[in-house]
Amino acid sequence: MPADDFAAIPPGRALRYRLLSHLPGRHGLHYATKLRRGRRNETRRAFEGALAGAAGGTCIDLGANLGEMTRRMSAVAGRVFAFEPDPWTAERLRENTAALGNVEVIEAAAGVSEGRVELFRSHGFEQNPAQRSLSSSVLASKRNLDRSAPITVRQVDFPRWLEDLDGEVAVLKIDIEGAEVALLERLFEAPALQRIAHIFVETHESRVPELARRTEALRRRAAGMTRPAVNMDWE
């Protein structure tokens, strides 16, 4: 659903969702997800504000998919690095950004180690790859995946890659289907973290419930940061 189509949650309902989000197990996750989605407009406004300050700078799109946000970044940034591990999707991403001289597509997963990893596609990928490519993940435990035929893809040690990148990063968007938890745990300890102005993260504890506690710990830590400004309500 587009961000503009999702109205803000009324204050009373938001309070109810916040209280119910502390329930154990799936019930708590259900209401935490509803609360996060209710903040979607606020998050997109924050993203647009961050981009407004990114003119001529560097933006990074982790989990670029077909390039919607990559193109949005490209309109203002001096350079954009777009990471996409799936070969089919990366090829479409290259096609969709071919006319943009400031975009570099990196066909790789963003992780915490260098090498080759298995990527699991969603059920029905072959019938509708454009839609189903949104759910691909390197985490076999994520729900809604076809585990019968993973493909092997390149993975980049992203914190180390970031250390080698010259200059500041205006905006980093992370939507990597569950792999964001391990990445953020490592990234929050990396010296290069201070070179990032804004981070926007989509979390996936509703699809990978075993990540819920670690995700909540990251949210608490992010809430105390001033640089970078970390928003973990991306949708």
Cα–Cα distances in angstroms (integers) from residue 92 to residues 118, 172, 222, in the given order: 20, 21, 33
**How much is the pLDDT for 35?**
58
**Looking at the domain 56-231, which fold is it?**
Rossmann fold (3.40.50)
Global pTM reads: 0.84
- Is 87 strand, coil or helix? helix
For the chain, domain boundaries: 56-231
- Lowest pLDDT segment from 30-39, 122-131, 153-162: 30-39
Binning pLDDT at 50, 70 and 90, where does residue 33 land?
A: low
Instruction: Return phi, psi of residue 95, to 5°.
Output: -60, -40
Minimal CA–CA distance to 229: which of 92, 72, 47, 67?
Answer: 47
Instruction: Say whether pLDDT at 128 is over 90.
Output: yes
- Sequence length of the chain is 235
Instruction: Say whether pLDDT at 30 is over 60.
Output: no
Average pLDDT in the 18-39 region? Answer: 58
Give the integer Cα–Cα distance in Å for 110 and 82. Answer: 10
Average pLDDT in the 62-73 region? Answer: 98
Report pLDDT digits (tens) over 175-204: 999 999 999 999 999 999 999 999 999 999
Average pLDDT in the 75-93 region? Answer: 98
Instruction: Say whether pLDDT at 9 is over 70.
Output: no
Binning pLDDT at 50, 70 and 90, where does residue 206 land?
A: confident
Give the integer Cα–Cα distance in Å for 109 and 87. Answer: 11
For residues 14 and 143, the model is more confident at 143
Average pLDDT in the 38-45 region? Answer: 78
**How much is the pLDDT for 24?**
64
Minimal CA–CA distance to 80: which of 101, 96, 94, 63?
Answer: 101
For residues 217 and 29, the model is more confident at 217
